[in-house]
Amino acid sequence: MSQITLPWIEKSPETLSGYRRKAILLLFVLAVGHLGIALVSLFAFKPGQLADWKIPFVLALVLGASLAGMAFTAGAFGVVFYRIIGKFLRWSYVAFALFLGGVVGACLIVWLHAEIFTFIKGLSAAEGEHRVWLLAVPYDHTVRNIYAGLEAIGVEVPVLAYALWPLQFEFIRDLVALGGIIGFISIIPAFGIWWERKVSARIQSRMGPMRVGGWHGWLQSPADGLKLIFKEDIIPPEGDPLLFRLAVYITFVPPICAFLALPFAAAWVFRDLDVALIFILAMLGIEVVGVILAGWASNNKWAVYGSMREACQMVSYEIPMGMSLLIPIMMAGSLKLTDIAGAQAGGFWNWFVFANPWCFIAFFTYYCAALASCKRAPFDLPESESELVAGFLTEYSGFRWSLFFFGEYAAMFIVAGLAVILFLGGWSSPIPEAWINSFLTAVGASPDGFFGTLARGLLAGGPIIFVLKATFLFYVQLWVRWTLPRVRIDQVLYACVQVMLPLVMVLLLANTLWILGTDHLQWGWLNVIDGILHWILVGIGVIVALAILCIALYGFKNNKRLVGQLAVVDQLPGS
Amino acid sequence: MILAVGLNHYLVLSALIFSLGVLCMATKRNAIGILIGVELVLNAANINLVAFSKYNAGVGDGHIFAVFVILLAAAEAALAIAIFMNFYNTLRTIDVDRGDELRG
Amino acid sequence: MDDLAFYIFAAVSLLSAIGIVASSNIVRSAVCLLGTLGGVACLYFVLDANLLAVIQLIVYAGGTLVLMVFGIMLTSKSPWVGFRATRGQVAGAVLVAILMAVGISTLVLTAEWSQSANAPLKTSPSVAEVGEMLLTDYLVPFEVASVLLLVVMIGAAYLARTEK
Amino acid sequence: MNHMYENLLALGVLIPLISFAILAFWGAKIGKPKSSYIACAAIGLSCIMATYVLIGWSGLDADQKADLTFAAANNQFHWADFGKIPLTVGVKLDSLTVIMFFMVTFIAFWIHFFSVGYMEGHSDEVDGQCKYHRFFAYLSLFCFSMLGLVISSSLLFMFIFWELVGLCSYLLIGFYFDKKFASDASMKAFITNRVGDFGFIVGLALVALYLGTFDLEQAAATFSQQFSASAAAGFDPAHSVGIFKGWNLYEMFGWGTETDPMMLSGLGVATLMGIGLFCGAMGKSAQFPLHVWLPDAMAGPTPVSALIHAATMVAAGVYLVARVFRLLTPEAQFFVAVIGCITLTITALIAIVQNDIKKVLAYSTLSQLGYMIFGMGVGAWVAALFHLMTHAFFKAMLFLGSGQVIEGCHHEQNIMKMGGLRKKMPFTCWTFFIGVLAIAGFGIPFAHIGLGGYFSKDEILVVAYERAYNHSHGESSAKHAGENLEKKDAESHVRLASMTDASLSQFSILNSTLAASGGDGSHAHGTPEKEKIGATLPHLPKWMFWLPIVIAYVTPFYMMRCWWLTFMGKPRDEHVYEHAHENWKMFVPLVVLAAGTFWCSFSLFRPMIAEAGGVAADAPAVVAIDGVAEELKDLPKNKLDPTMLMVTHGEGLTNFNNPHIALGWIVGFAWIIGMGFAWLIYRNGVAVARQIKQVFPLNHLHRWLEQKLYFDHIYDNMLVMGSRVVGTVCYTFDKWIVDGLVNLTGILTRFLGNFTGRQLDMPVKKNDFGLVDAIANGLAALFHDFFGSIIRRPQSGRIRSYVILTAGTAAVVLLLVLF
């Protein structure tokens, strides 16, 4: 027994408490120690002693230590108060709360990030020429300089100046942003997989996961994730082990990079690229390389079939997808996502999906093409389990396998988000802000007061509305998957090349001419027709939305009737 | 200061990538490897174009040229792959050294 | 910071390019090509050619590379079948490449460029400007390119068709 | 709403395109009857728009129309630049456009309607593909192209649509592509058109080069300015501008000497441009010598013949000439007239002996097109376009009638096998007869009652008469007008104007001529420059007046022959006769078009075209504008009445100075004589004709005409065989002379080599003394073993070796250059 023994594996539950005590002690010591360093560091650096040469040490020691300390503290709390937290977690609807909290947290990361960067941008440059030691990279802001800026806004924490210093480089800023994104998208699959299982269960009139974590098994995904992490790492020896490992990252990283350019709201974006839209498309396009490599490196017949299907499908569907996206681009006259979303503000009738019939159709063609390029059902040919075992995922297991899912769910969220930004008004609320303001004034609340700000933040557009919209489209993807049968591969390609491509081309041409007639040549009669069609489409949209709402309400009201008694929870072991 | 990046850095980088592309073309016996070498060479040329556009010419001509080069490279790759398919169908191999009917 | 970015991405591109040459496995070469393409795209970002960078990613990495890997899959019998050049050939090729690199580098380093080579211009053409140039000054090449793509499409389909 | 009319027209053009797109992509799914409804609906919608525009337009006064024209000209979409030449897309909005648009949509709609019935039995499947929807898709595409051609304000876009209608024509002629003759005919049509279009391109290039614009209006204005400026300089190359600088052929080709270069005068270049543009019209309107494709084009379905090869597309040539009229120099115009005259003569003669009902109509179409082109050539701008309109209606009707007959008679086209069909198909019979009357020029002279063909042909001939006799040329000045005044012929209703002033509008013509008739002799065309230009006008030879007159007698003859043999007399083939029937879907259009034939003869078309004539008024060439129209202009539009045409006539039926009166006597009764003659010969079937055919001079003439004057043979023998002969000659030269020389050298060398080689070089036989061989072998061994294997190695056929070599060489050269 010379192996490392983990206490909670080796011993039986009876003796768990002893090990837990040791663990608690260890963690507590670590946590307190690091917290101590962190606390000391807050005050150990006097404002007068700030110097640039200290930066690496401070960053390495103090920040690293405090971050680690926080993590350990959280872990220790988790272990110590397991039972209390466990009770707490059983509380109904905590899943949604957690999800929303995660979303809000992610949004906050984006926002904080943008704020910090604006703050650094706003600082006046330090005098003299400064270069990074050894690398000779010039920079504008010294630590003193930043601290002066912090003092000006009343934050007199010297170590913060050290922490903020690296953020003046866009490069590092993006790295930090990537960290934030990984945090966000690790929520998406965790929630999404659980949700998908619940949705599928509801569609098939069964329960879905019910046990782990209490309320409706909401902790199922993290539990599965844990399991996957500890699973054996199997690499097929006859394949190409290097590529087998690399493929995972080529699939996983691009969707994360795509988040760099995806705005959550007007200022809530990591990088407001002027070519944001194509950038995201490019990132989604690179993803396919990883999938193909995964299939190839597995050296498995089914995997290679799956990856070849993927290659065909992705390369074909990118074209109708991109061409559908050209239509809102034309309407807005920009490739910048913030511009495009900004052009649709002021009420849901301004959304591009209702702008004219071509846009209306383009929304659906885009959505179909996006489904196909995310290899979601009914286009999930590359991993169709009834034909190809699991397609390119056949040889994957454990953590690598879960990373593929991270990538896929991230991509799903991105295409949903793109649809929202390009067609459904982005983060703007369906109700114009002026209406909200006047409503607030009418009920006597000041728009700038606490409730006014809260109401405006929630209703008048912002990241939350964006995430809600995107989540809805994400939900539609699940819905489609569990209600439509899978199509054959030749049907997939036929649908792309012979149906979607001509249709989209016609749409593009028609929209071009339409814009030419309405906006540029100002044909009166065409504008009249445009107006009429616009309001008809708005009417259709309202009717569809109301219908979905009514059906959902009906289902919610009668959910017991649909699936029988949900009270089996109480009879499960461990309850 | 040599570390401060200027036009020459890009040009030298481009020269290196170009040479590596030539090397790739010269050493790969797989036809697709040669195609990869060609792509490297084209990329090297593109770096030049864009760098000149940034440092010297100023207007977007370099960008436009590079766009066209990328376009032509894509077209060339499509055709080349099609030709390789025929090559493979004829000789049952993708080794270009086997396609030496024209030797002196 | 642009300088640092340049060094990083140049290193990525160069190392990947070396990887392409050094790897005897063609699929690994293709993966390294992805590295080079990505690195060059990032260099375009550094050079303020955002549109070009994205086009590079979408056309090269998303299209051409997939096509190549697809071609490899159709023409290889196993991941491990590779063809190696003889040592003499490799030595000759390396010699030529070194000569070439030295020659071109010397050429560009000794050349006298018309304007200051170390002061990048502040204004780079925006996406809209590039697009406008494509549709005005370069309209004819643009249209010719579209015709060329059509020709290539038909030609490739014709060449790759199955014989009946 | 300032742009409403042009927008409506533009929309009317696009609707058929939408229909085409639908039918092209989903036609097969839409299925047999429904796809035709889409095409009909599309063109019907266009027709409604056209009608609305026509009615609205005819209610405007001249100022409003000019305003709208101006507004449309300024509402052009700047698309791109060809170098410095702007490329604009716009709608040319004037009376001519409105009328042509209406005419095309109206006829096209009824022909679509007809096709629904006609194509039911004519659209077999080929290779399992139904062709029914394809036919209507092509028709829609054609409508789009033709309408686009009509409204284009730019020559370049005219050319684009011009090619598109050519394409549609090709597709539709070859609609039965499974039949050899149809596909041959389509290719013939296409290739013949290419010849004409080549000229068009040359003309376009000259326009772009010298006038610097493709816009019709600007091109004409520039041309006019250049003309007047150069005319002021007496066309001296040194002082002329633009196109009138002429070409120095010494610089271009080295012709002549440097001091005395051969020159092509400015007028010559301008004429070349005009003829080039006209060449396009020659191809499309099938004018001599490119007329050979149109009869063969009858291989297409009959509605196509009616729409494309009778009413609209072939008339596009005339429309083009009308549009570029202001770019034609007098010489170019004369060329146009000659071509038209030749065409109308020979094709009418050929029509006499044709037995295929569609061929007869095709040749009569050619002849009538010849009349139009001839009218353009002599300057009867208004009359030629009026003839175009009337001809479109009755010729479409005639073709549809023939389609009805062919369909009814079970695909029988030979009129020799028909006869007596009037009992089986009365509607077709009598509508056809109306068409025959119209084309024959039915009318009562001096009373001015008649069908369309009567008025329009009469006016063309009147202008020709004036050109040939009264106002021959050169002195078409105030002096002449004064003489006329003295002869109390002041109401001479053809005004010849040779004008250079670009600003001269229709109204100034009216004013100047009124002034002239008022006796102010020096007002109208008094300046010496203009007199000089007037003097450059070519004389119209007398035969160019008399040939059309003769043909005016021939036309009723062959039309009557065709009608009589088809519908009257006794049935000559029982099988055909029994099968004959009518179909309501097909005779409704016939009746409508017959009504249209009446209507267009008397309606507002005539004055509206005359109004449009104003746009042609500043041409440097001869323009004839009928006085009738100008005087009608002052009347309220709703009072327009055909009897008004009588207004300007001089007193006395024997006043031969009045061309109308003179022509009334010369040709006014041609229809009676021609038709009567035909009735005499064919009243009892074909027996009499057979006998006449045997008479001595006529039998040879008949043979010649039956062989279509051997044009196809000539083309086959001259062009096709010619190319073959050239090829054979080249081949022979190459094979015997070049190869012979080479072989001779070889033989000689071998002989020499045999001698020297064996002795000096290489031993072959036992006693041969091979000196060099020994050395060479030694060296060769050295080279082979040492250098050869090194040099051979790179030539491995392996691409990589070549890469290394090329790159290595480049690198070495680079290094050598550097260091």
Helix/strand/coil (H, E, C) string of D30-89? Answer: HCHHHHHHHHHHHHHHHHHHHHHHHHHHHCCCHHHHHHHHHHHHHCCEEEEEECCEEEEE
Q: Which helix (H) or strand (E) holds D693?
A: helix D687-694
Q: Of D797, D800, D807, which is closest to B102 when you measure between CB atoms?
A: D797
Residue D430 has a pLDDT of: 87
| Chain D residues in contact with C99 (beta carbon < 8 A) | 808, 811-812, 815
Residue D637 has a pLDDT of: 40
Question: Does some domain include residue A348?
Answer: yes
Question: Does some domain include residue B3?
Answer: no
Contact across the interface for C64 and B74, Cβ inside 8 Å: yes
Picking from A140, A169, A198, the residue at the C-terminal end of a domain is: A169
| pLDDT higher than threshold 50 for residue D489 | no
| Chain B residues in contact with C2 (beta carbon < 8 A) | 5
Give the pair of three-digit tokens for residue D415. 């009129």
| pLDDT higher than threshold 50 for residue D476 | no
Find the mean pLDDT for residues B21-44.
Answer: 88
Domain that holds residue B43: 8-97
Task: Tell me which residue of D183, D463, D126 sits closest to D297, measured CA to CA.
Answer: D183
Mean pLDDT for all residues in chain A = 76
Whether residues A160 and A247 share a domain: the answer is no
Residue D588 has a pLDDT of: 82
**pLDDT digits over A161-194, tens only?**
777 777 777 767 777 767 766 766 677 777 778 8
Find the mean pLDDT for residues D639-656.
Answer: 40
Judge whether C85 is closer than 8 Å to chain B, CB to CB. Answer: yes
Mean pLDDT for all residues in chain D = 76
Q: Which of D211-225, D240-254, D621-635 has the highest mean pLDDT?
A: D211-225
For chain A, list the contacting chains (3+ Cβ pairs, <8 Å).
Answer: B, C, D
Judge whether A335 is closer than 8 Å to chain C, CB to CB. Answer: yes
Residue C81 has a pLDDT of: 64
| pLDDT higher than threshold 70 for residue D21 | yes
Q: Of C100, C102, C139, which is closest to D807 when you measure between CB atoms?
A: C100
Q: How confident is the model at residue D804 (pLDDT cuts 50, 70, 90)?
A: confident
User: In Å, how far is B9's CA from the nearest CA of chain D?
Assistant: 20
**pLDDT digits over A346-366, tens only?**
777 888 888 888 888 899 999
Whether residues A156 and A257 share a domain: the answer is no
Find the mean pLDDT for residues C121-145.
Answer: 82
Question: Does some domain include residue A180?
Answer: no
Residue D793 has a pLDDT of: 64
Q: Of A506, A516, A523, which is closest to D7 when you measure between CB atoms?
A: A523
Cβ(B1)–Cβ(A135) under 8 Å? no
Cβ(D439)–Cβ(D395) under 8 Å? yes
Residue D446 has a pLDDT of: 65
Query: Nearest residue of B to residue A138 by CA position?
Result: B4
**pLDDT digits over D687-722, tens only?**
777 777 777 777 777 777 777 777 777 777 777 788
Q: Which residue has the tokens 């010969």?
A: D681
What are the CA-CA distances from residue D159 to residues A285, B29, D143, D162 (Å)? 43, 53, 16, 5
Give the pair of three-digit tokens for residue D303. 């509605």
User: In Å, how far is B74's CA from the nearest CA of chain A?
Assistant: 13
Query: Nearest residue of C to residue A335 by CA position?
Result: C127
Find the mean pLDDT for residues B64-77.
Answer: 89
Task: Tell me which residue of D490, D534, D535 sits closest to D516, measured CA to CA.
Answer: D490
State the CATH number of the domain containing residue C17. 1.20.120.1200
Range scoring the smallest mean pLDDT among A5-19, A356-370, A488-502: A5-19
**pLDDT digits over C78-115, tens only?**
656 667 777 887 888 888 888 888 888 888 888 777 66
Judge whether C5 is closer than 8 Å to chain B, CB to CB. Answer: no
User: In Å, how far is B42's CA from the nearest CA of chain C?
Assistant: 11
Range scoring the smallest mean pLDDT among A516-520, B94-98, D424-428: B94-98
Residue A262 has a pLDDT of: 84
Residue D493 has a pLDDT of: 35
| pLDDT higher than threshold 80 for residue A10 | no
| Backbone angles phi and psi of D154, in degrees to 5 | -120, 140
| Chain C residues in contact with B6 (beta carbon < 8 A) | 117-118
Domain that holds residue A255: 238-427+462-522
What are the CA-CA distances from residue D105 to residues D8, D114, D118, D304, D309 (Å)? 13, 14, 19, 14, 15
Q: How confident is the model at residue D517 (pLDDT cuts 50, 70, 90)?
A: very low
Q: Which helix (H) or strand (E) holds D495?
A: strand D494-497
Judge whether D731 is closer than 8 Å to chain A, CB to CB. Answer: no
| pLDDT higher than threshold 60 for residue D515 | no
Contact across the interface for D814 and C100, Cβ inside 8 Å: yes
Q: Of C21, C44, C129, which is closest to B27 when you measure between CB atoms?
A: C21
Contact across the interface for A274 and C127, Cβ inside 8 Å: yes
Task: Give Cβ neighbours of residue D513 (< 8 Å, ≥ 6 apart).
Answer: D481, D495, D497, D524, D627
Whether residues A104 and A247 share a domain: the answer is no
Cβ(D566)–Cβ(D421) under 8 Å? yes
| pLDDT higher than threshold 80 for residue D773 | no
Contact across the interface for C74 and B70, Cβ inside 8 Å: no
User: In Å, how far is B39's CA from the nearest CA of chain A?
Assistant: 17
Find the mean pLDDT for residues D67-79.
Answer: 81
Question: Does some domain include residue A257?
Answer: yes
| C contact test, residue of A284, A286, A497 with most C CBs within 10 A | A286
Q: How confident is the model at residue D472 (pLDDT cuts 50, 70, 90)?
A: very low
What percentage of chain A reaches a pLDDT higher than 90? Answer: 2
Question: Who has greater pLDDT, D451 or A366?
Answer: A366
| Chain A residues in contact with D4 (beta carbon < 8 A) | 524-525
Q: How many domains does chain A have?
A: 2
- Pinpoint the alpha helices (H) of A170-232: 170-203, 220-230
For chain C, list the contacting chains (3+ Cβ pairs, <8 Å).
Answer: A, B, D
Range scoring the smallest mean pLDDT among D349-363, D608-622, D792-806: D608-622
Give the pair of three-digit tokens for residue D231. 């005319």
| pLDDT higher than threshold 80 for residue D197 | yes
For chain B, list the contacting chains (3+ Cβ pairs, <8 Å).
Answer: A, C, D
Q: Can you tell me the distance from the alpha carbon of A266 to that of A427, in angstroms, rounded to the nearest whole number? A: 8
Q: Which of A137-151, C54-68, D561-575 has the highest mean pLDDT?
A: C54-68
Question: Does some domain include residue B57?
Answer: yes
Q: What pTM was computed for the model?
A: 0.54
Whether residues A246 and A165 share a domain: the answer is no
Residue A504 has a pLDDT of: 92
Find the mean pLDDT for residues D572-599.
Answer: 79
How many CB atoms are closer than 10 A to CB D670?
23
**pLDDT digits over A58-115, tens only?**
777 666 666 776 776 676 666 666 666 666 655 556 666 666 776 677 667 667 777 7
Query: Nearest residue of C to residue A298 by CA position?
Result: C79
Give the pair of three-digit tokens for residue C140. 């004819």
Q: Can you tell me the distance from the alpha carbon of C64 to that of B36, in angstroms, rounded to the nearest whole number? A: 10
| pLDDT higher than threshold 70 for residue A534 | yes
State the CATH number of the domain containing residue B47. 1.10.287.3510
Residue C1, classed as helix, strand or coil, is coil
| A contact test, residue of D2, D6, D7, D29 with most A CBs within 10 A | D7
Residue A132 has a pLDDT of: 66
Question: Does some domain include residue A548?
Answer: no
| pLDDT higher than threshold 70 for residue D752 | yes
User: In Å, how far is A320's CA from the nearest CA of chain C?
Assistant: 14
Find the mean pLDDT for residues B19-33.
Answer: 86
Contact across the interface for C79 and A296, Cβ inside 8 Å: yes
Judge whether B89 is closer than 8 Å to chain D, CB to CB. Answer: no
Question: Does some domain include residue C130?
Answer: yes
Query: Strand pairing of D449-450 and D443-444?
Result: antiparallel
Task: Tell me which residue of D480, C62, D516 sits closest to A317, measured CA to CA.
Answer: C62
| pLDDT higher than threshold 60 for residue A252 | yes
Q: How many domains does chain B have?
A: 1
Which D positions 61-90 lie with beta carbon below 8 A of chain A? 75, 77
Residue D635 has a pLDDT of: 39
| Chain B residues in contact with A135 (beta carbon < 8 A) | 3
Whether residues A382 and A508 share a domain: the answer is yes
Picking from A169, A203, A225, the residue at the C-terminal end of a domain is: A169
User: In Å, how far is B76's CA from the nearest CA of chain D?
Assistant: 17
The three-state (H, E, C) secondary structure of A488-519, written as one string: CHHHHHHHHHHHHHHHHHHHHHHHHHHHHHHH
| pLDDT higher than threshold 70 for residue D363 | yes
**pLDDT digits over A409-437, tens only?**
888 888 999 999 988 888 887 877 777 77
Give the pair of three-digit tokens for residue A303. 């995997």
Question: Does some domain include residue B37?
Answer: yes
What are the CA-CA distances from residue D199 to residues D82, D253, D273 (Å)? 20, 21, 9
Contact across the interface for D800 and B97, Cβ inside 8 Å: yes
Question: Does some domain include residue C120?
Answer: no
Find the mean pLDDT for residues A298-312.
Answer: 84
| Chain B residues in contact with C35 (beta carbon < 8 A) | none
Query: Nearest residue of A to residue B5 by CA position?
Result: A137
Judge whether A1 is closer than 8 Å to chain B, CB to CB. Answer: no
**pLDDT digits over A193-231, tens only?**
888 888 888 777 777 787 666 667 777 777 787 788 777
Residue D145 has a pLDDT of: 92
Handedness of CA A526, A531, A535, A538 (dihedral sign): positive
Residue A19 has a pLDDT of: 60
| Backbone angles phi and psi of B25, in degrees to 5 | -60, -35
Q: Which residue has the tokens 């659906």?
A: A364
Cβ(C7)–Cβ(A222) under 8 Å? no
Query: Which amino acid type is present at position D613?
Result: G
User: In Å, how far is A138's CA from the nearest CA of chain B?
Assistant: 9
Domain that holds residue C71: 2-110+125-160
What percentage of chain C reaches a pLDDT higher than 90? Answer: 5
Question: Who has greater pLDDT, D653 or B91?
Answer: B91
Cβ(C76)–Cβ(C26) under 8 Å? yes
Picking from A476, A501, A522, the residue at the C-terminal end of a domain is: A522
Query: What is the ipTM score, two decimals?
Result: 0.66
For chain D, list the contacting chains (3+ Cβ pairs, <8 Å).
Answer: A, B, C
Residue A366 has a pLDDT of: 92
Task: Give the count of alpha carbons within 13 A of A289, CB side only.
Answer: 35
How many CB atoms are closer than 10 A to CB D651?
8
Find the mean pLDDT for residues D477-496.
Answer: 36
Question: Does some domain include residue C70?
Answer: yes
Residue D796 has a pLDDT of: 66
Q: Can you tell me the distance from the alpha carbon of D608 to that of D99, in angstroms, rounded to the nearest whole number? A: 8
Q: Can you tell me the distance from the alpha carbon of C22 to that of C7, in angstroms, rounded to the nearest whole number? A: 22
Range scoring the smallest mean pLDDT among D294-303, D718-727, D754-763: D754-763
| pLDDT higher than threshold 50 for residue D508 | no
Query: Nearest residue of D to residue C98 by CA position?
Result: D811
Indicate the DSSP class of residue D645: G
| pLDDT higher than threshold 50 for residue D118 | yes
